[in-house]
Structure 1
Amino acid sequence: MGRLRFSCVRAGLVPAAFLATLLASERAGAQQPTFHLDRLQVPGAPDDGVVMFRPVTQPKPTAFAQLALGYSKNPLKASNITRDRSTLAVSETGVVNYQLTTYATIGLEFLNRFVVSASLPVTIVQGGQNPNYVGTVFGSPSATRVIADGGHLNDMRLDFRAVLARTASEKGAVGARLALLPPSGSNSNFGGDGSTSGMLMIDAEYDLNWIVVTGNTGFHFRPRNSINDPNNENGLGVGNEWRWAVGGFIPFKAGRYRIGASLFGQTGIESDAIIGETTFKKRNTPLEWNAEGRMRFGPEERFWAGASAGTLISNGYGAPDLRILGLFGVYTTLFDVDVKGPGQKNALRAKWRSEKSADSDKDGIPDDIDACPSEPEDHEGSDPNDGCPMPPDRDGDGIPDQYDKCPDQPEDKDGIEDGDGCPEDDFDKDGVPDATDACPKEPGQPSKDPKRNGCPQFIKLDGGGVEILQQVHFQTGSATILPDSFPMLQEIASLLKANASIKKMQVEGHTDDRGDDNMNLKLSQSRSESVVKYLAQAGVDQARLSAQGFGETKPIEDNKTDKGRAANRRVEFKITEQEDANAIKK
């Protein structure tokens, strides 16, 4: 009886072992190497976007680093790898439901033309599952099983970039890019292609003043791989691809901030029995859009940060339902190239000439260091060897015609508004010639005293403000200006209208310490606003004026005496923004 029971058990183990072997064989045999799924290639250089590679470099040799963190939802869907309706009906939407990936980049820019960098994406977390295939036979090639979850390395990217050409205005540029992707990523769960792939790309952009337009296009040469049976259009095959991206961004605040958007995608360019037909097939043609913002900050604005969000447009593989990304970067100048010193310049030119470098405009200055490679140097001006001709200056006053308000009348260089290009006979238009005007920028009255001839009676321009020789008088406890102050305020209005270089002036009101503190603060504010209103009615652009009341908080004398309190009840006129009217634009 014991032998019979043992024999039955042993007989039952045989089919169980066979079934276990078959199951193991099916799982091991149907699982196969995958490919690099993530279609986003984050650039990483200081001027790049989240998606767009720009043909722009820093003028000095620069090292940079960037770290980005991105999340994508459903980057690979069941509908990308099978069209079996029964399977899709009982399966989750995603095969890869989500990825959380870091993108680290380090690189160098040099000679204001070249960039080399290395990028390594690392998927920290990935989740997913296989479709619930229906009606398939174990071992059938039409039901490939993949590992859809687990963190992993992705294929790293080595970029070699060059700016091929720039327009004379440097608003436009074209560059070329070679990218090599060694097989550093896991090809068992969508981290890598399993062998080296490469990209050949062209990058271009043009600045339209209010918006910068950028484009990237080229080819990705990669190994062929497949899931399920793409040859019968019931699976996904990948191979060589054509990639493209177009975008634009709007800079503001002198380029410190920018916002933009881009459209990027790809399609297959080959077909065979392994990967099927890939060209403009929906499963092989992912298309996405993103919106992004970016800012520079820190010392010399050497840090930057940005954020992006976007979705798919076309449901090709790798295009997620949602993609969000944030990044942070920094760059540092490695060493300064002295392009100002003539000795250094001449040594560099001699070196480049000896190496027979290109000289497009034949001015003897190689393109590599020619600031205007398509315009011959005329060897004139303050820097006769920078590669650029002197801009036109018809009247020969040293102010280029494009900035000269009087291009046919030489500037008289009399120290009065010498940057506008116009000679001044009576700058402040007070009827007193500048040659004898003791106050040529302050409208005034003729006087027999040479030191007061042409000077205002009640005010004096004094560096960062206007000194008033009598106070603005108001009705007691009120913001109503008394008529005896009108002539002085009219002189201030004339001064501002004659001096466009005074961009901003603040009218400040002050009181003594008698009365309630809050009432004094409100009174000083109302009085300063009354003065601003008067000046605006006298013809001064109100955008140049601001009012601020300080109450009793800023005394200039002791409030314990009548004399001190009288001095503290005052209105002051502070110049808060002024440009150098004698500076010459170039």
Structure 2
Amino acid sequence: MKRSARLTLGLALGLAASGPASAQDARFDVQAFRPVGAPRDLVIVGQSRPMGDYDPSRPLELDKSIAVSGGAFFNLALDPLTLVAAGTHSKAVSVVGNRLQLDVMASVGLFGWAELGVDMPLVLAQAGDNLEAIGTEGFIKSFTPGDLRLNGKVAVPYLRRSKPEDAGFGSALTFGMGLPTGLQEAFAGDGAVTGNLGLILDYRFESGALLALNSGLWLRPDYEFAGVQWGSSATFGLGAELPLIRGWGINAVGMLSGSTPLKKLPEDPRQIPAELLVGLRWYNTALGLHVTVGGGGGCGCSLTAPTMRLFTSILWAPGPETAAIKRYIDPPEPPPPPPPPVDPDGDSVIGEGDRCPGSAGPVENGGCPDTDQDSDGVVDRLDRCVAHPAGPRGREGCPLARIDGNKIVILDQVHFATDQDVILPESFPILEEVAEELLKHLEIQRVLVEAHTDARATEAYNYDLSRRRAASVMNFLLDSGIAVERLCSAGFGRSRPLAANDSESNMALNRRVEFTIMPPTEGSLLPPCPPDPAAEQALPAIKPTKGKR
């Protein structure tokens, strides 16, 4: 009788048969659900970071560097292997109509670099039809062990998350071996040693979300069943984990996994058994328990893809593995609030910014009370002349005239009419205060009134102009009541500039009047007046120049 394989709609497996199957058809393990047992793996899709933690900067701590976990996976598959009549969608034979399987698993992680695991599958219950149609009278055995699986994972250097909770990319190589402990006649084993090799690439986000991609090879004997070539396969998997209620440790998980045989019969469609599963995971970091429940189904386009699958798992991972999970599952403790600011003097300047915490003061003075050393009503922090009262006509705490060393310093320039020795009225208050200082300080025997000009015009002209201006200021002081023997005057022209005569502002500085206190002499003699430089100059034709002078 002719036999062929075809896809079915609405059933998990699409095999069509027009007659009884050959007695030579080989039996194999129909279980496509092969869980991975570490707590942070995504059920049937692995993640890259092996369990355990190791920091080379600290002494070796085995209780943190070596981590263990153990637990169990239950899964119920409906119609993992069913035959339908050729040309119809009618079920002909349920070879394996349903299967309830338990996977007992244990894993050990070494220093965050390697991980070893063991998985013992046990078919707790399965049922199907009489298999006379495929050459064997009777039903498949209900309870049977499966093939024992040994698994390993090694992190790839330079693409490994240094700590379990770290965000970033990770990668690992996987390997494994299956031992023929299962009953092949019950479709629970391959009857030979099998193996697998794989690569994991993943990325963990700061939120704890994970995206993982798996690929690899499943090495197993070649079989032919109901006209379909079956054997070694290329495997693939895509998984994701997303925190839902982070404080409670509740995450969503999703997985798409499958395989495709490396060989097929020439006229047969390629088998691609694939399953899409989703679920919820609960991390109980207090007890170190991790529970996952979910379900999904196959694509209905190949052998071993069930119509529906339900699964649940419970894993226990004490010690460092749970501690690492806790760091990205539990929300971080908020930092304690800073202590309330202390302001004992109630001036709104608090903490270290208050230089006088026992006395109230303005913010501008660092919380210290304002002082007024010269009692002129201008506080010292704003007073440019702290030791000299400003007087009624002063500005910014400075008087219009004050004694400073051997000078009577004036607050502003003495202004003259342009190219003349006529004092402008705006300078009268300054000269009046100079006179007041001399009247208050009779110990000053003699003052030299100096006049200076900028560099414009000739040297002789500037000497003459400065001499006349100095004399005008001296006459103003004489009219203010200063004795003639206490005053001298001299013009220095442009010979003593304060700044380069290269700009209008600099030339304005050079046009000035200064009051120099002559050093006292012994006895009753007055200090002599210095010779007038202008009198010593030959004064040829004197021509004024344009511009303010």
TM-score (norm 2): 0.50
In the alignment, does 2:86 pair up with 1:84? yes
Counterpart of 2:215 in structure 1 is 217
Q: How far apart, in 1, do the equivalents of 2:172 and 2:253 lie?
A: 21
In structure 1, what is the equivalent of residue 201 of structure 2? 204
The equivalent position to 2:143 in structure 1, one of 146, 151, 154, is 151
| Alignment partner of 1:241 is 2:233 | yes
Task: After TM superposition, list the pairs within 5 Å mapping 1:496-515 onto structure 2.
Answer: none
Q: Which residue of 1 aligns with 2:348?
A: 431
Deviation at 1:69, TM superposition (A): 1.2
For the residues of structure 1 that align with 2:260 and 2:192, how far apart are their CA atoms? 20
Match for residue 62 of structure 1 among 64, 67, 73: 67
**Cα distance per residue 1:306-327 (max 9 Å; x no partner):** 1121111243111111111111
Question: Displacement of 1:184 after TM fit?
Answer: 0.7
Q: 1:103 to 1:167 in 2, by over 3 A?
A: closer
Matched, 1:303 2:295: no
Q: What pairs up with 1:321-340 in 2 under 5 angstroms?
A: 321-333=307-319
- Are 2:24 and 1:107 aligned? no
Deviation at 1:149, TM superposition (A): 4.5
- Rounded to whole Å, the distance in 2 between the matches of 1:89 and 1:416 is 70
Retained in 1: the 8 A contact 2:82–2:91?
Answer: no
1:131 shift after superposition: 7.0
In 2 relative to 1, CA 145–267 (structure 1 residues): closer, same or farther, beyond 3 Å?
farther
In the TM superposition, residue 238 of structure 1 has moved relative to its aligned partner by: 1.0
Distance in structure 2 (CA, Å) of the matches to 1:149 and 1:334: 42
Cα separation, 1, equivalents of 2:260 and 2:267: 7
Is the contact made by 1:128 and 1:148 (CA closer than 8 Å) also made in structure 2? Answer: yes
Against the structure 1 CA distance between its residues 39 and 61, is the aligned structure 2 distance closer, same or farther, given a 3 Å change threshold? same
Counterpart Cα distance in 2 of 1:84 and 1:280:
15
| DSSP-derived class of the 1:188 partner | helix
**Does the residue aligned with 1:102 lie in a helix, a strand or coil?**
strand
Q: 1:166 aligns to what?
A: 160
- Which residue pairs with 2:330 in the alignment? none
2:30 alignment partner, one of 31, 37, 40? 37
**Contact (CA 8 Å) 2:218, 2:232: kept in 1 or not?**
yes
Unaligned runs of 5+ in 2: 1-19, 54-64, 322-335, 369-549
How far off its partner does 1:72 sit?
A: 0.7
* Post-superposition offset of 1:33: 4.6
* Counterpart Cα distance in 2 of 1:175 and 1:144: 44
Residue-by-residue CA offset, 1:548-586 (whole Å, 9 max, x unaligned) = xxxxxxxxxxxxxxxxxxxxxxxxxxxxxxxxxxxxxxx
The within-5 A match list for 1:169-180 is 170-180=167-177
The one-letter amino acid paired with 2:295 is: A
**Take 2:188 and 2:266, find their aligned partners in 1: how far apart are those partners?**
23
* CA shift for structure 1 position 193: 0.5
- Corresponding position of 2:178: 181
8 Å CA contact retained: 1:238, 1:278: no
RMSD: 3.9
Note if contact 2:347-2:361 (Cα within 8 Å) is conserved in structure 1.
no
Q: Is the 8 A contact 2:32 2:304 kept in 1?
A: yes
Q: How does 1:444-483 map to 2 (within 5 A)?
A: none
Check 1:416–1:183 CA distance in 2 against 1; reply closer, same or farther (3 A cut): closer
The aligned counterpart of 1:96 is: 96
Distance 2:347 2:131 in 1: 88
Residue 281 of structure 2 corresponds to which residue in structure 1?
294
Do 1:72 and 1:100's aligned partners in 2 also have CA atoms closer than 8 Å? yes
Pair 446,290 (structure 1): closer, same or farther in 2 beyond 3 Å = farther
The whole-number CA distance in structure 1 between the counterparts of 2:216 and 2:101 is: 25
| C-alpha deviation, 1:430, in angstroms | 7.2
Partner SS for 1:91:
strand
Deviations 1:400-444 (A, max 9, x none): xxxxxxxxxxxxxxx9959xxxxx999xx9732424769x9xxxx
Q: 1:416 to 1:314 in 2, by over 3 A?
A: closer
Residue 43 of structure 1: CA displacement?
Answer: 0.5
1:44 and 1:278 map into 2 onto residues whose CA distance is 39
How far did residue 226 of structure 1 move? 2.1
How has the CA–CA distance of structure 1 residues 306 and 89 changed in structure 2, closer, same or farther, with 3 Å as cutoff?
closer
Contact 1:68 1:103 in 2 (8 A): yes
| 1:229-308 to 2 correspondences below 5 Å | 230=227, 236-251=228-243, 252-253=245-246, 256-271=249-264, 276-277=265-266, 281=270, 284-299=271-286, 301-308=287-294
Counterpart AA for 2:92? S
Cα drift, residue 279 of structure 1: 8.6
* Paired residues of 1:265 and 1:286 also in contact (CA < 8 A): yes
Q: Distance in 1 between matches of 2:77 and 2:43?
A: 14
What amino acid sits opposite 1:220 in the alignment? W
Q: Paired residue for 1:316?
A: 302
Match of 2:43 in 1: 50
Give CA deviations for 1:19-65 in whole Å, capped at 9, x if unaligned.
xxxxxxxx999276510100011101121121111112231201210
- Give the number of the structure whose alpha-carbon radius of gyration is greater: 2
Structure 2 Cα separation of the partners of residues 120 and 278 of structure 1 = 37
Identity of aligned residues (%): 17
What is the aligned partner in structure 2 of residue 120 from structure 1?
Answer: 120
**What aligned pairs does 1:323-472 form with structure 2 within 5 A after superposition?**
323-333=309-319, 431-435=348-352
1 CA distance for matches of 2:140 and 2:233?
23
CA contact (8 A) 1:129 1:149 kept: no
Partner Cα separation in structure 1 for residue 150 and residue 83 of structure 2: 32
Partner in structure 2 of residue 375 of structure 1: none
CA contact (8 A) 2:102 2:123 kept: yes
Q: Distance in 2 between matches of 1:416 and 1:238?
A: 65
What secondary structure does 1:54 align onto? coil
Residue of structure 2 equivalent to 1:74: 79
Distance 1:47 1:416, change over 3 A: closer
Q: TM-score, normalised by structure 1?
A: 0.47
Aligned residues: 308
2:192 to 188, 191, 195: 195
How far 1:116 moved relative to its partner?
0.5
Could you give the per-residue CA deviations for residues 102-143 of structure 1, whole angstroms, max 9, x where no partner exists?
A: 01101210111110111011011110125785xxxxxxxxx5
Partner amino acid, structure 2, of 1:237: Q
Measure the CA separation in 2 of the matches of 1:258 and 1:30.
48
Shift of 1:208: 3.8
